[in-house]
Structure 1
Amino acid sequence: MLRVEGLEAAYGDSRILFGIDLQVGKGEVVTLLGRNGMGKTTTIKSIFGLLKPRAGTVQVNGEDLTGAEPHKIAHAGLGLVPEGRQIFPTLNVHENLVATARPGGKWTAPRIYELFPRLEERRRNMGSQLSGGEQQMLAIGRALMTNPRLIVLDEATEGLAPLIRADIWAVLAKLKAEGEAILVIDKNVDALTKFADRHVVIEKGQVVWTGTNTEILATPEVKDRFLHV
């Protein structure tokens, strides 16, 4: 689904990424882990064409889309739940869902409401009237409405209350059970290990560890060294 090799990126003269390698297969859940400021969001921006890579390649289903415009990345089948949610505040819930929807796929507004009953209850509420948790549900629903082959979540549960975080994890586990491919960034490693398949850990813009769920559970020193503040 997604193959990233040797990805390098910078903001002006400040190099951030130094050769990131990662891949996500069909129906696979992969995490991108690391402390704040290590390059996770920069990696996502580079994948989606929001930041032009200095070097390396980004392939989606075998097609080289390195540095392509964001709409071409989306058209190729990548759906993004961005950090900070970035929903449309002056549109209501239903309008947010259908604004960028790609028809003809399995994800429709009724299916999103089934996945997130709270959104159906608030379907006429404006985006600005939603809580942070509801906005995150809407951001996930909006991404799914593009019927992506791979959904990418940047800081999936950042700043959310524990009960809402649990709801988001339950939804991601359900999506995995339905065969969705997912790349997820989050700080809650314990929750991620309950349903993820593989993990990629980055430190200062470089991959420092990668392995399966079983391997990360068997090596707690990875969390101690690279993930704990």
Structure 2
Amino acid sequence: MLRVENLQSAYGDSRVLFGIDLAVERGEVVTLLGRNGMGKTTTIRSVFGLLKPRGGRVTIDGEDVTGRPPHLVARRGLGLVPEGRQIFPNLSVEENLIATHRGGRGAKWTLEAVYRLFPRLKERRRNGGNQLSGGEQQMLAIGRALMTNPRLVVLDEATEGLAPLIRDEIWACLRAIKDEGEAILVIDKNVDALARFADRHVVIEKGRVVWTGTTEALRTAPEVKERFLHV
């Protein structure tokens, strides 16, 4: 579904990505791993057109979307849960969700479906985005991405800054989303939690892919964690 080939990006004269290759197929969960500053968020920004690539290709179901504006990339079926959540603080929970809804009758993800996935959002549906805890804001950010009825959900730092119990709740929700048949591309530092439900992993170091493989392969390669993922 999503294919990234030889993706190269820079901020001004500072090169950050030197040829990233990755793919996510339908219904698959893929992680993008690496220490801070290795290019993970830059990869996501480049895929979504938030940063125009200097080279390479991004395709969705074979259609070239390289460097297109973010709203056009989103219309091709990618839903983003950005780093820092970036919800609308002055809108209510329900208004945040309605604001991104896309899809007519028969769409899988509706208000009711999101509320079933996140009962706490239903309880807080009249509260403003700025009245939510960090965990609730992350649930809202995920729900808002789902309301676009994407074919691929992309999460940048899925559980950053959240308490362990809330992290577990987010992981459970991501497993439920996978069970619904959604494809997921996720960035997070909690490798062991990701390995419980992810299919494949892509590890990057200094803007290059240095390892890729299945969860089973990652479990039997402790040197990958030690060399590229431990701080």
Secondary structure in 1 matching 2:176: helix
Q: Which one-letter code corresponds to 1:133 in the other structure? A: G
Unaligned runs of 5+ in 1: none
State the shift of 1:103 in Å. Answer: 2.5
Find the counterpart in structure 2 of residue 150 from structure 1: 152
> Matched residue of 1:52: which SS?
coil
User: Hey, what's the Cα distance between the residues in 1 that align with 2:121 and 2:100?
Assistant: 17
1:89-123 CA distance string (max 9 Å, x none): 00000000000110322100011010000000000
* 1:60 equivalenced with 2:32 (yes/no): no
Deviations 1:21-65, CA, capped at 9 Å, x for gaps: 000000000000000000000000000000000000000111000
Give secondary structure in 2 for the equivalent of 1:211.
Answer: strand
The code of the aligned residue for 1:134 comes to: E
Rounded to whole Å, the distance in 2 between the matches of 1:128 and 1:140 is: 16
Distance 2:108 2:189 in 1: 30
Structure 2 counterpart of 1:217, from 216, 219, 224: 219
Give the partner amino acid of 1:60.
Answer: I
User: Within 1, Cα distance between the matches of 2:185 and 2:103?
Assistant: 23
Q: 2:168 aligns with which of 157, 166, 169?
A: 166
Quote the Cα distance in structure 1 between the aligned partners of 2:34 and 2:129: 30
Specify the alignment match of 2:9 in structure 1: 9
Matches of 2:78 and 2:60, distance apart in 1: 8
TM-score (norm: length of structure 2): 0.99
> Could you say what secondary structure the match of 2:59 adopts?
strand
Counterpart of 1:139 (choices 115, 138, 141) is 141
Runs of 4+ off more than 3 Å:
none
- Give the aligned partner of residue 85 of structure 1: 85
Q: Please say if 1:115 is aligned against 2:117.
A: yes
Distance 1:44 1:103 in 2: 24
Q: Which runs of 5+ in 2 are unaligned?
A: none
Could you tell me the percent identity over the aligned residues? Answer: 76
In structure 2, what is the equivalent of residue 34 of structure 1? 34
Residue equivalent to 1:75: 75
Corresponding pairs, count:
229
CA distance in 2, matches of 1:198, 1:178: 18
Matches within 5 A, 1:99-110: 99-104=99-104, 105-110=107-112
- The separation in 2 between residues aligned to 1:125 and 1:116, in whole angstroms, is 15
CA RMSD for the aligned pairs? 0.4
TM-score (norm 1): 0.99
Q: Which amino acid aligns with 1:46?
A: S
